[in-house]
Amino acid sequence: MLKEEHNTYIPNEVESKWQSIWKETDIYKTSDNVSSKKNWYALSMFPYPSGDLHIGHWFAFTPADAHARFQRLEGYNVLHPQGFDAFGLPAENAAIKRNINPKKWTFDNINNMQKQFDIMGNSYDWNRKLITCTPEYYKWNQKFFIEMYKKGLAYRKNGPVWWDPIDQTTLANEQVVDGKSERSGADVIKKMMPQWYFKITDYAEELLDMSTLEWPEKIKQMQRNWIGKSEGVTIDFKIENHTKNISTFTTRIDTIYGVTFVVLAPEHPIVTRLSLDKNKDVKNYILNSQKLSEIDRTSTTREKTGVQTDINCINPVTNEKIPVFIGDYVLASYGTGAVMGVPAHDDRDYIFAKKYSLPIKVVVSPDGSSDLELDHAFTGNGTQVNSAEFNGLSNIEAKQKISDLIQNRNLGKKTITYHLRDWLISRQRYWGTPIPMFYDKNNNIIPVEEHELPVILPDAKEFKPTGQSPLTLDEKFLYYNHPKLGKLKRETDTMDTFMDSSWYHLKFASPGNLEVPFEKEKIDKWSPVDQYMGGAEHAVMHLLYARFFNKVLRDLGYVNFDEPYKRLFNQGVMLARHMKISKRNNPLNPQPLVEKYGTDSVRAYLMFLGPWDRGGDWSDSGINGIYRWLNRIWEMMTTKYHEKEVLDLDSKNLSQISNQTTKDILNGMRNFRFNTSIATLMEYSNNLSKIKKNGTVSNSDWLDACKRLLIHLSPICPHISEEIWNIMGNKNSIHLQSNPSYNEELLEKSTYILIIQVNGKLRDQVELEKNTSKEEIKKFLNNSEKIKKHIAGKKIVKEIYIENKLMNLVVK
RNA sequence: GCGGCUGUGGUGAAAUGGUAGACACGCAUGCCUUAGGAGCAUGUGCAGCAAUGCGUGGGGGUUCGACUCCCUUCAGCCGCACCA
């Protein structure tokens, strides 16, 4: 029971005490079914085991935990698991640099980080821990890969791929940012290589449908942009004196009558097929364009260049002969790799035409006149001119009619193109899931038999990146004697680690089973993830891949839902000295803060800084205030309350603010407004401390208020609230309680503050009984010196009166 | 260039179209203390002794009333970008 004397709040004692009790009682162990409770799956994006949890991790994980804990108080059966995204390059780089085994490095880091997770006080169910670099996990990557291969969703193709010269491996399109590797920061180059791909483009259209997702609009927009749907027409241009065609893609078929040239990408296959590069100028131009880095080639500010070829082609609607150019502003990877040049109505074509003195023919006119002189391309809408039978139509209408005409005459067809490329999945590195494929001596692809899975990643001694997977050095791994097919060579590439994170949320919902990747009944209880939480940097990588993969698993019969993550919340970026916090830059260590103030203070401070989705520049300058606040709560609740004289008014007031506090907290916590929720709690505790000083409410009212505050505090500061809860004599853990309820009727105060404005400006205010009559109020107005001063000599032309709120006098 | 977000005290920030700056940090003064620290109390948007005036990046508008809605402009951050 409560002692009279003061005892001190020592965070580290309280925290380690409860952390070990929670561990012993396995309080966060989650069962798949709890009668009378709904399930809630709260998932934080699992971390890469880089070694230590820095303050950025704390900012990502502790508010997420507070929200999960809050959902428990809301009455849900909450699954909040954690694991490690354990494959990837840093382990290999550490192996090279420090001559340690990547597996050992990874597992040492995991052990270390799990201890640090415990210090955070997060409510993870560690019974479900998963580590993606274990054969039990990556076996299923391999099984899915084989099933995708059999369905044609995984394929091997020789093609241009992004190459990271530092990491010595290929990258997926999404992992290239501004021509640099998202991972190493190196300028990437294009290489021709046979590689494995996943056919994400088959799902482009379905991936565009995000109508069921409660995600930030920003992320949805980024995914839409990335998929980059564009509707238009592919139209074939006959080459003069040849049987071949040049196929072009355009979204502006209404400008077909204005085509005065055609431009091919330097890599366009027809260039070599028609030996256009026999021409010396053409050959030099192509050689030069190959020297340019991709970032230079796609720079919008660079001058457009090109070279004329020896061929011409025929405009299919006008039968005009037009020249064919090669220009490196045309990308081989988009559309058909060839564009029809319409200088009058496209900025790039205009610049190109001016440079090479090509004719500029206006076919869409802003004012209907047909002999315009343009000093720049006109890209807006207007009226067709110089367009044969389409003259006079609006270009929007003409677009339809010309498409129909072209389709009917078999000159081309309506086409949809996407910016999205297939997902390049193979990596020439060691520390990843081996791709479960063989090649025979004729290079035929033979999948590993399912009963042979997993293909174990062998121990390696040499990890130096050479452009080939280190697995090629392992003769024992490399060759396999197939009972029927004889000696086969294994695929030595490993999988992109985004494979691992594409389905890990399902494994958390069905851990432990080694026979199947997951049990359908179990994942159905938890899926889709109710609340996913993590950084926005994965908008077009992890989040897009996981959506794709979910649809693949659905089509393979594993799951029966369409989307993996129902709700998504992105926390903001925590910066340190204006730089993103990361292991590389400035791994701000929370350890000293935890030692000085305790986990609870660090957690509350991170949540109090501002809205979670905003982030900010890290500074610990305010944490002391949080620490003092927790000390005041400790002091207030661990010393005895003395009931002096119970005042009816104070009891009523307490009831009112208690109900209001609960209403605000529930609202705030539901919407991830941790900062305002904490502010509300501070106000409440400030109020309680005044009450305690005066002793004007009953003992039991006081006790109820304390409990209310503690329960509201418990998701944010789980340790101190548990300790005080326990000191107060409660037997069950505070984390097994429910949120207090509030009564709308008790929110009502009997009085209100009337705002009195003159011309919309506050001039006076007065506290009045609710529903005071307008006449009463006028009486007050007539007596108010402040009001009199402002209306003296003026005429009241209007009174705006809102009952129980405000009176605005409009004077002239 | 296109799209999105954000601009509020010395600082982090708060405000269903109705008291701008809640809640904190910091600072100031006082109490306590041998002292430092901690703690407690009071104050703290700016200018002014005050009355009062001004004040949410700038300009305009709607409204009795605008941080909030509309138009426009500037700045910062993020994303996309020769996408045909």
Q: Is the pLDDT of residue A794 over 80?
A: no
Query: CA at A575, C1' at B68: how many angstroms apart?
Result: 29
d(CA A280, CA A288): 12
- Please tell me the least confidently modeled range out of A49-58, A221-230, A517-526, A579-588: A579-588
- pLDDT the model gives residue A582: 65
Cβ of A8 near strand B (under 7 Å)? The reply is no
C-beta separation of A735 from A72 below 8 A: yes
- pLDDT the model gives residue A490: 96
- pLDDT the model gives residue A369: 82
Cβ of A258 near strand B (under 7 Å)? The reply is no
For residue range A538-575, what is the model confidence (pLDDT) as tens digits?
999 999 999 999 999 999 999 999 999 999 999 998 88
The segment with the largest mean pLDDT, out of A151-160, A172-181, A182-191, is A151-160
- DSSP category for residue A294: H
- pLDDT the model gives residue A766: 81
Neighbouring C-alpha atoms within 13 Å toward the C-beta of A456: 5
pLDDT above 90 covers a percentage of chain A that reads 68
Residues 6+ apart with CB under 8 A from A65: A44, A80, A120, A121, A122, A123, A124, A715
Higher pLDDT, A714 or A780: A714
d(CA A234, CA A332): 15
Closest nucleotide to A540, Cα to C1': B79
In strand B, the nucleotides that come within 7 Å of a protein beta carbon are 3-5, 11-15, 18-20, 22-26, 38-40, 52, 64-66, 78-84
Using pLDDT thresholds of 50, 70 and 90, give the confidence band for residue A1.
Answer: very low
- pLDDT the model gives residue A304: 87
Cβ of A614 near strand B (under 7 Å)? The reply is yes
Q: Average pLDDT, stretch A251-256? A: 94
Cβ of A673 near strand B (under 7 Å)? The reply is yes
Q: Is the pLDDT of residue A461 over 90?
A: no
Query: CA at A216, C1' at B68: how many angstroms apart?
Result: 21
Which pTM was predicted?
A: 0.93
Structure tokens at A731: 């037997």
Q: Is the pLDDT of residue A293 over 80?
A: no
Closest nucleotide to A622, Cα to C1': B25
pLDDT above 70 covers a percentage of chain A that reads 98
Higher pLDDT, A677 or A274: A677
C-beta separation of A379 from A410 below 8 A: no
- pLDDT the model gives residue A585: 55
Contacts of A16-20 spanning 24+ positions with Cβ under 8 A: A17/A723, A18/A121, A18/A718, A18/A719, A18/A722, A18/A723, A19/A118, A19/A119, A19/A121, A19/A719
Closest nucleotide to A341, Cα to C1': B84
Q: Is the pLDDT of residue A765 over 90?
A: no
Cβ of A381 near strand B (under 7 Å)? The reply is no
CB within 7 A of strand B (chain A, 134-163):
none
Q: Average pLDDT, stretch A308-313? A: 92
Q: Are strands A154-164 and A169-171 parallel, antiparallel or unpaired?
A: antiparallel
For residue range A466-504, what is the model confidence (pLDDT) as tens digits?
888 899 999 899 999 988 889 999 999 999 999 999 999
CB within 7 A of strand B (chain A, 302-321):
302, 304
Structure tokens at A649: 């008014």
Residue nearest to nucleotide B2 (CA to C1'): A225
Query: CA at A43, C1' at B74: how many angstroms apart?
Result: 41
Q: Is the pLDDT of residue A798 over 60?
A: yes
* Average pLDDT of chain A to the nearest whole number: 91
Query: CA at A274, C1' at B14: how many angstroms apart?
Result: 69
Using pLDDT thresholds of 50, 70 and 90, give the confidence band for residue A578.
Answer: low
d(CA A170, CA A188): 9
Closest nucleotide to A689, Cα to C1': B40
C-beta separation of A106 from A48 below 8 A: no
Query: CA at A121, C1' at B44: how many angstroms apart?
Result: 37
CB within 7 A of strand B (chain A, 341-380):
346, 348
Residues 6+ apart with CB under 8 A from A311: A239, A240, A241, A242, A274, A276, A324
Query: CA at A624, C1' at B53: how many angstroms apart?
Result: 38
C-beta separation of A386 from A370 below 8 A: yes
For residue range A649-670, what is the model confidence (pLDDT) as tens digits?
899 999 999 999 999 999 999 9
Q: Average pLDDT, stretch A802-808? A: 84
Structure tokens at A727: 């000191």
Residue type, A541: M
Cβ of A292 near strand B (under 7 Å)? The reply is no
Question: Tokens 């969703």 correspond to what residue?
Answer: A153
Query: CA at A677, C1' at B16: how many angstroms apart?
Result: 17
> In sequence order, what DSSP letters do the residues of A21-55 get, joined into one string?
HHHHHTTT---S--TT--EEEEEEPPPP--S---H
CB within 7 A of strand B (chain A, 530-569):
536, 540
Cβ of A688 near strand B (under 7 Å)? The reply is no
Query: CA at A83, C1' at B19: how many angstroms apart?
Result: 50
- pLDDT the model gives residue A792: 76
- pLDDT the model gives residue A133: 97
CB within 7 A of strand B (chain A, 224-253):
225-226, 228, 230, 232, 249-252
The 3-state secondary structure of A654-719 reads HHHHHHHHHHHHHHHHHCCCHHHHHHHHHHHHHHHHHHHHHCCCCHHHHHHHHHHHHHHHCCCCHH
Q: Average pLDDT, stretch A678-691? A: 95
Among A693, A726, A725, A728, smallest CA distance to A710 is for: A725
Cβ of A622 near strand B (under 7 Å)? The reply is yes
Using pLDDT thresholds of 50, 70 and 90, give the confidence band for residue A772.
Answer: confident
Higher pLDDT, A201 or A4: A201
Query: CA at A709, C1' at B27: how many angstroms apart?
Result: 31
Cβ of A218 near strand B (under 7 Å)? The reply is yes
Instruction: Write the CA distances from A98 to A105, A463, A466, A586, integer angstroms.
Output: 10, 12, 18, 21
Question: Tokens 């081989």 correspond to what residue?
Answer: A332
> In sequence order, what DSSP letters do the residues of A136-168 get, joined into one string?
HHHHHHHHHHHHHHHTTSEEEEEEEEEEETTTT
Cβ of A762 near strand B (under 7 Å)? The reply is yes
Query: CA at A679, C1' at B21: how many angstroms apart?
Result: 14
Contacts of A450-455 spanning 24+ positions with Cβ under 8 A: A450/A143, A450/A146, A453/A139, A453/A142, A453/A143, A453/A146, A454/A135, A454/A138, A454/A139, A454/A142, A455/A142, A455/A490
Angle among Cα A131, A63, A8 to the nearest 5 degrees reads 110
